[in-house]
Chain A
């Protein structure tokens, strides 16, 4: 029995745009709204080098990662050929205009995938 958590209303997500759901553990969950009004959710982490998909340009049913232009499909989280890789997909439920995510997935899906690092912390000691 899925336990749904309401995270926002559909209108909170710009058309052809994205919002992010912050979690205590793991990368954010990126919510996307296609021009047809459908809502999708992916882990906010590109399979290539961990780029934030929520910052990409949305077209059709996919998003282009802002770091190196990989195109990730919303339905399966897979990168478009010939790139290879995929990011976890989160189940979305629409209750009227409330956007809901699966509580179990929010708590556990993709939480141990490492986040990209930058800056002085990456320097060799």
Chain B
């Protein structure tokens, strides 16, 4: 079967990223030809500023070397100018670098011609020494000019202009920035932040002419520019003039082809949510040259999202949709901390929260509308930039954290775990040799190096290539700060709707909803109904789907042991050498002499190497061989402790009124009641309770998913606490009178979490996502609803088997414990032809 032909016009980041995504999902569908105007293979245009500033070299910013094109069988024409496209013949005509004619036929055409810089239409704009700032050639010109000339004028005090000015100044030139608007970076900053920025840059040696209107670029005798003249008659010397006054989509070719482009011209090639042009279904456009829902994006993160969607359509999957992006900006001027996202100026109906410390050089403005964060402008302290951006994108209500919102992630709800990174919260303050990821031993320097050298843009990229934040996730916030600081505003934050895994575009919520509304009861049914991309799913989605099915349709959906992680399949915790640990259940942390004897006897009989007491108030036997598990369970004769499961683990108790002179309530009995009522309950993640008999709280109930604290008049209930990776104090939930109420409210909260939580969310993440107010509404205010939830949970748990004993009912495949065969390791030639037992 002959391959289809794909022609890409434009060898920049948006187009090539689309090719990369396409090659991932349909590597053999097309013969690909690329036409690029520049003489270089695809490079990271964002990092031109660090190159100008002397922090990186051009070689280091190449994203796809020539070998990449060759390895993927892509025909690359560098330095080629496409002169025309005949849409009926489906033919692209171009002039190669040496002047010869090149023709390429296409079945699909992808236009990614990027932007042209806006050149001020003033006399002298074509003089030698007047350049734009778009590509490697411009950058090299600036570097060379700085060696031989003195005065530079940058026209445009926006993001790009300031980066150019800074770079030229570092190279020794005397730089003046001309900006027509009342303050710098007016598209990203308000006036206060803009003036702070100007002051900071002036202290570094840059000069500014705010509000000046350029009239003419004056030539010297040698034909090179020598000065810039303004409308008010004044002049500034200039050996180099950099036009950084904005960009316009490059649609000259598209218009000549008759493709619809947006108004006002040049406004970008109009595309739909599938990145197809509205004029010709065989032609797609991505990147800065495309206008999607009226917006032509100039930052890279949206372009990568477009590329991903476009690739799914080129691959003939036909399902991807691009619906637009929220963007954020970060100035890439080393040492200036600036971040902006969303509607930072505010509009009618919005309100501001402002923190202003001019002497300290910090200015932060948060714009809130309808209880949501809609904009953020941070100067001087941008550590929380990615968190604010996440809140803006998620659009979640911030009422419950409003009073702490300005003080950042660390105080409101953080993305940084407490441990594993020496207490550092701000990546910028860390040295290169400091360890950022404690699980995998990855330093800040190693992460930054990897980001720059391998052209990484997302947290997933960094995880894959360095292992940082790939294990416990404690350092995720720090790693995100590093990505943002290195890549700037083009950092691709985690998308609002994160797909469950690589097998689907759907997120957890969409899948959960579909399972409920369409009454799906098996994994194959889910995969078929929701269009799973892979026949078997993967190690991420299968366990999640399995959980969603059995929690949504108890007694109907059947558990699939092959889709459970090993611990839950074997009902024991796998250790690093392939042996297992056994933790029998001890109700409320109490045991008897008889149980202890049975445990001790098993340790001797099966030669179990280690006996350890756990934090959950029970005993752990480590090093049990898999083939001994069933017998160990039988000999000990105690129920499964579910220490290996995403289920109720333990209910820690303190001694309480039964024994303790301080005890106000009988915490041990309450704990046992809770444990007996809810053991065997599977959940999106592990669940831990504790009950203390008085406010001294010896059972540490303040860091549990549900913590119950006895007081004289009853019980206090706390929820969504977390020990571990990120210690979270549980929130006070409600005050209850009786033990029955404790069971009902705890059970209802658990059932809500079971039905709505996303797989691998602890209660702290679930409540953080939906808001404590929402949970209170469902459990405290809606009495009928609460009782119904409690009844649902009891129904689901009724008859639920103990997997250590009821193998059939618990669908424990006993074959897994034994080897299927044992073979002697004797070389065949020495084995007699037939052996019968002696």
Residues of A in contact with B (beta carbons under 8 Å apart)? 3, 5, 7-8, 12-17, 19-26, 28, 31, 34-36, 49-52, 55-60, 64, 66-67, 69, 71, 82, 101, 103-104, 106-108, 111, 115-121
Q: Is B536 an interface position by the 8 A CB rule?
A: yes
B821 touching A22 by the CB < 8 A rule? yes
Taking a contact as CB atoms closer than 8 A, the residue among A12, A25, A31, A67 that contacts B576 in the complex is A67
- Inter-chain contacts of A115 with B (CB < 8 A): 577
Bound-state CA distance A38–B492 (Å) is: 40
**A58 CA / B570 CA spacing, docked (Å):** 15
Q: How far is the CB of B474 from chain A (nearest CB, A)?
A: 16
Contacts of B623 in A (CB 8 A): 118-119
Bound-complex Cα distance A104 to B623 (A): 32
- 9-residue interface stretch from B327-335, B336-344, B561-569: B561-569
Type the 1/0 row for B564-597, where 1 means its CB is closer than 8 Å to any CB of A. Answer: 0111001000111111000000000000000000
B464 within 8 A of A: yes
List of B residues within 8 angstroms of A21 by Cβ: 819-823
B residues near A17, Cβ cutoff 8 Å: 562, 813, 816
Task: State whether A57 touches B565 (Cβ < 8 A).
Answer: yes
For residue B402, CB closer than 8 A to chain A, the reply is no
Q: Is the CB of B827 within 8 A of A118?
A: no
Binds A, one of B268-276, B537-545, B773-781: B537-545
**Are A66 and B821 in touch, CB under 8 angstroms?**
no
B residues with a Cβ closer than 8 A to A are 464-465, 534-539, 542-543, 561-563, 565-567, 570, 574-579, 609-610, 622-623, 813, 815-816, 819-828
Q: Given A67-B574, A116-B578, A119-B622, check contact A59 B539 (CB 8 Å).
A: yes
Q: How near does chain A come to B532, taking the closest CB pair, in angstroms? A: 11
A-B contact pairs, 24 of them (CB 8 A): A3-B828, A7-B823, A14-B813, A14-B815, A14-B816, A16-B562, A17-B813, A19-B815, A19-B820, A24-B824, A24-B825, A34-B536, A52-B574, A56-B539, A60-B535, A60-B536, A69-B539, A101-B823, A107-B825, A107-B827, A116-B577, A118-B576, A118-B579, A119-B623
- Which of the residues B534, B563, B609, B820 comes within 8 Å of A57, measured between beta carbons? B563
Q: Is the CB of B820 within 8 A of A66?
A: no
A103 lies within 8 A of B820 (CB): no
Alpha-carbon distance between A121 and B623 when the two chains are bound, in angstroms: 11
Nearest opposing residue in chain B for A51, CB measure:
B578
Chain A residue nearest in CB terms to B465: A82
Known: A67-B576, A118-B623, A119-B610. 20 other contacts (CB 8 A): A7-B820, A12-B820, A17-B562, A19-B816, A19-B819, A20-B819, A21-B821, A24-B824, A50-B578, A52-B578, A57-B562, A60-B535, A66-B567, A107-B826, A107-B828, A116-B578, A118-B576, A118-B579, A119-B609, A120-B609
Contact of B822 among A22, A49, A50 (CB under 8 A): A22
Q: Tell me which of B820, B824, B827 contacts A20 (CB under 8 A).
A: B820
A104 to chain B, nearest CB (A): 6
Q: Which of B536, B566, B609, B828 contacts A55 (CB 8 A)?
A: B566
A58 to B578, CA, bound (A): 17
Contacts of B464 in A (CB 8 A): 82
Nearest CB of chain A from residue B673's CB, rounded to whole Å: 35
- A106 to B578 CA separation, bound complex (whole angstroms): 20
Q: Tell me whether A118 and B575 are in contact (CB under 8 A).
A: yes
- The residues of A that contact B819 with a CB separation of less than 8 Å are 19-22, 28
| Inter-chain contacts of A19 with B (CB < 8 A) | 815-816, 819-820
A99 CA / B707 CA spacing, docked (Å): 53
The 3 A-B residue pairs with the shortest CB-CB distance, nearest first, are A118-B577, A19-B820, A64-B539
Is there an interface contact between A22 and B823, defined as CB atoms closer than 8 Å?
A: yes
Complex Cα distance, B622 from A17, in Å, reads 25
Q: Given that A55-B574, A57-B565, A82-B464 are known contacts, is A16 also in contact with B536, CB under 8 Å in the complex?
A: yes
The complex places the Cα of A66 from the Cα of B644 at a distance, in Å, of 13
Assess the B820–A13 pair: CB atoms within 8 A: yes
Q: Is the CB of B566 within 8 A of A8?
A: no
* CB <8 Å contact, A58 and B822: no
Which among A15, A60, A115 has the highest number of chain B CB atoms within 10 Å? A60
Contacts known (A55-B578, A67-B576, A104-B828); A14 close to B562, Cβ less than 8 A: yes
Q: In the complex, which residues of chain A have a beta carbon less than 8 angstroms from the beta carbon of B827?
A: 104, 107-108
CB distance from B572 to the nearest CB of A (A): 11
Q: Which one of B543, B563, B574, B825 contacts A106 once the chains associate, using CB atoms below 8 Å?
A: B825
Considering the chains assembled together, what is the distance between the CA atoms of A35 and B562 in angstroms?
11
Could you tell me if B825 and A12 are in contact, using CB atoms closer than 8 angstroms?
A: no
Cα(A47)–Cα(B747), bound, Å: 44
Contacts of A16 in B (CB 8 A): 536, 562-563
